[in-house]
Structure 1
Amino acid sequence: MNTPPITTKRERRKEARPGELLDAALALFVEKGFAATRVEEVAARAGVSKGTLFLYFPSKEDLFKAVVRETIAGRFTEWNEELEAFDGSSAELVRYCMRSWWERIGMTAASGITKLVMSEAGMFPEIAAFYQQEVIGPGHDLLKRVLQRGIDRGEFRPMELEYAIYSLIAPMIFLLMWKHSMAPCCPPSQQIDPVGFIDSQVSLLLHGMLAQPAAPATETPSRTAAP
């Protein structure tokens, strides 16, 4: 009778180590920033040696890229699939996108990555370029499709999509920056309810602030003196 090999705790954890390292790296990147985070700290928090970390991620930059792909960039496949399958109105889709983004990114530790990139882009242009390629670019493309869907269906008026997408992005960036800067310092009476804020922004984006839409301006024909 063959006796199954004994698997030690160290061996059982080997396959889980990349995930543990990414979790530890994300926490430290958000807490300390990219520049101040040391790989030794990441390894220690994950409970492995620095050598083990380098087996999976040859450099801190590679580790950061893996964190971004795991927590944010890797979600664009499912988001695009959901856009294709969505059968509600385009206004409902806008609200769904913004709420979904908050639930899947804003409420998680990954929400701190945006602040990190914005704060340290000047010192680490390669990190900024990577984030542009993996997150910002695909995010812009997705939002363009959302707005174009509304235009094509006659639900939204024609607009300059290259700029209109920032009307959707700006409130979300504000929430992230608030969450990781002022929110921990503010009393409860001054805290922002993220879902309420998102709903308010969606309403403003879709309906504006005017009590009723202004009538389109028409050109008054010029009068010429009678001969």
Structure 2
Amino acid sequence: MPGHADTKRKPEKKFERRAEDRPGEILSAARTLFERKGFTATRTDEIAAAAGISKGTLFRYFADKEAMLVAIVETVQIPAKDRMVRLVQSFEPPFAPKLGILAHTWYQMVQAEGIDGIPKMIMAEAGNFPDLTKLFKARLHDSIIGMLTTLIRRGVESGEFTCDDCDYSARYLLGSLMFLGLWNNSIGKYADDPMDAERYIGIWHKAACAHLGAPIPAAAEDDT
């Protein structure tokens, strides 16, 4: 009618939502293939097919596989790391029990979000892609080491821990904890006796406390 606004609904754009979701779909497909086949062996046409798009469409969003991996690190790995950093920053003495909380929270997050495959892949192909490896080290590894080093130093300053090399103690704790995820995402998939995460973390917690000269919390004793 004249003088009245047109109340007819405009037709929805059929692919509007899908277009917005495409970067995430591409990265999800790339991540799955990278973890299953390795970075070098994965082809961009395979990623495009897994994401349900053409290869040309894929290149509208990402220039190459390296750009996809960087995006995966920035959208999946780094946010997970940031959550762990915030958790550790919230810790107050005593710190020994918090080591167990940290380990359990980390493993639960790894399991829920499946974020252990990318570190395994980068470690395996570090020599082939040094720039990507340096990025991973700078944005993730070094930040996590800094987080653990600060936690250990706070324990030393409070008189709870005894440690004369906080930096390498942090590396030891991270490396031994990462082994659980790396094993379960590789050899553990084919083992007849899969690694019991709770038992492993319980032993890790006791070893961490012993290394740092702290009394072993009752929770760590119960874990094993």
Structure-2-length-normalised TM-score: 0.85
Q: Percent identity among equivalent residues?
A: 30
Residue 219 of structure 1 corresponds to none
Residue 162 of structure 1 corresponds to 167
Output aligned runs, 1:18-29, within 5 Å. Answer: 18-29=23-34
- 2-structure distance, mates of 1:5, 1:196: 59
Residue 50 of structure 1 corresponds to 55
Match of 1:153 among 146, 150, 158: 158
Q: Deviations over 1:116-150 (max 9, x none)?
A: 11110011111111111111111111111111121
Residue 200 of structure 2 corresponds to 197
- 2-structure distance, mates of 1:167, 1:204: 11
Moved more, 29-38 or 97-106: 97-106
Q: Is the CA contact 1:111–1:176 (under 8 Å) kept in the aligned structure 2? A: yes
Q: Deviations over 1:54-88 (max 9, x none)?
A: 22211110100111111111233332222222235
Q: Is the CA contact 2:27–2:71 (under 8 Å) kept in the aligned structure 1? A: yes
Number of residue-to-residue matches in the alignment:
207
Residue 110 of structure 2 aligns with an amino acid whose one-letter code is I
Residue 222 of structure 1 corresponds to none
RMSD between superposed Cα atoms in Å: 1.9
Match of 2:148 among 105, 119, 143: 143
- 1-structure distance, mates of 2:158, 2:84: 20
> Which 5+ residue runs of structure 2 have no aligned equivalent?
1-5, 216-224
- C-alpha distance 179-51 of structure 1, shift in aligned 2 (>3 A): same
The structure with the larger Rg is 1
Does the residue aligned with 1:15 lie in a helix, a strand or coil?
Answer: helix
